[in-house]
Amino acid sequence: MSERSTSTDSVDDVTGELPAVGTAVVTGANSGIGFEVTKGLAKKGAHVVMACRNIERGEEAKRRIEAEVPGASLTVHELDLADLESVAAFAEWFTSTYEALDVLCNNAGVMAIPRTETEQGFEYQFGVNHLGHFALTAHLLPVLQQTTGESRVVVQSSAGHRNGDIDFEDLQGEESYSAWGAYAQSKLANLLFAYELDRRLRMAKASVKSLGCHPGGSKTNLLDHSAAQGGFRPDLLLMRLLNAVIVRSAERGAESMLYAALDPSIDGGEYVGPDGFMNMYGDPVVQPSSDRSYDETLARRLWDVSEDLTGVSFDLPEPN
């Protein structure tokens, strides 16, 4: 797949049916790219449910957006992707409160932290970045499907997915663990899931599209969180120096997810990221991801394993 420019030069200029989105969910909405995605959707008139692990920080982020976007319609609700019970509780609340969901932005994530485990005992990066969003999407799929018109699932990946592989023999990093290796595995899992979900939605002839995106090199709190968790590490020191000197703002990084969520020209199963140097800077375009991310056999195996681990399944046909 060659790179293809999106239809506009600014998120504010995106036109078509989808910008009239009614309701959206953004995970990790209280900071970084999630905050900027929430603000961008609010500018389009969407009612955004800010799914946040920390309610206090979520409410503070809500107040900041309301000050910048007059008339912003926002709701903060607790969601801890490291706990599948919290994921199920959020979905139960949402489906009992809302009758439609136009856009689900699976954005939240952690990066390159020392090995720790989620509530259910999964390696934390794989558990939060992939399994938590896998389960959330499954729980919310019925309301996505019953939404009038087209709805979308947008999964945040990373350029780091290109270094990833799915180690089914040591999926939880119990025998050998690399902080960056586990991160790359989780980001590859994000794309394998996004593409496989779109294939199954097509088989079901559903009016839901699934696609992936990545923010490029963007200034967020992920590196600060990594450093706080891991202490002094030369790799993190270098990344933080680059973050301070070179990397662009979270607002620019949010453009990829906003285009993927809003641009009517983008199809399901596509991947959106910056068009500049090494796809780390520039304007969002549809571009290819790694060859491994399109491996359908790998995707189906990961799908089956993810259903087994989470105990959550999708009512969708398997692609031929």
By annotation, the residues acting in catalysis are 183
Angle of helix 55-68 relative to helix 32-43, nearest 10 degrees? 40
d(CA 233, CA 271): 32
Count Cβ atoms within 10 A of the Cβ of residue 315 and give its class: 0-12 exposed, 13-18 middle, 19 or more buried.
exposed
Q: Are 251 and 219 in contact (CB under 8 A)?
A: no
The H or E element containing residue 190 is helix 179-203
Q: Cβ–Cβ contacts within 10 Å for residue 237, how many?
A: 12
CB 50 within 8 A of CB 30: yes
Secondary structure of the chain: what % helix, strand, coil (to 5)? 50, 15, 35
Residues shown for the chain: 320
Radius of gyration of the chain (CA): 18
Residue 157: CB atoms within 10 A of its CB come to 31
CA–CA gap between residue 272 and residue 274 (Å, rounded) = 7
Contacts of 244 (CB under 8 A, 6+ apart): none
242 near 216, Cβ under 8 Å? no
Cα separation, 150 vs 207, in Å, equals 5
| Torsion angle, alpha carbons of 189, 47, 12, 275, to 10 | 0
Are 233 and 223 in contact by the 8 Å Cβ rule? The answer is: no
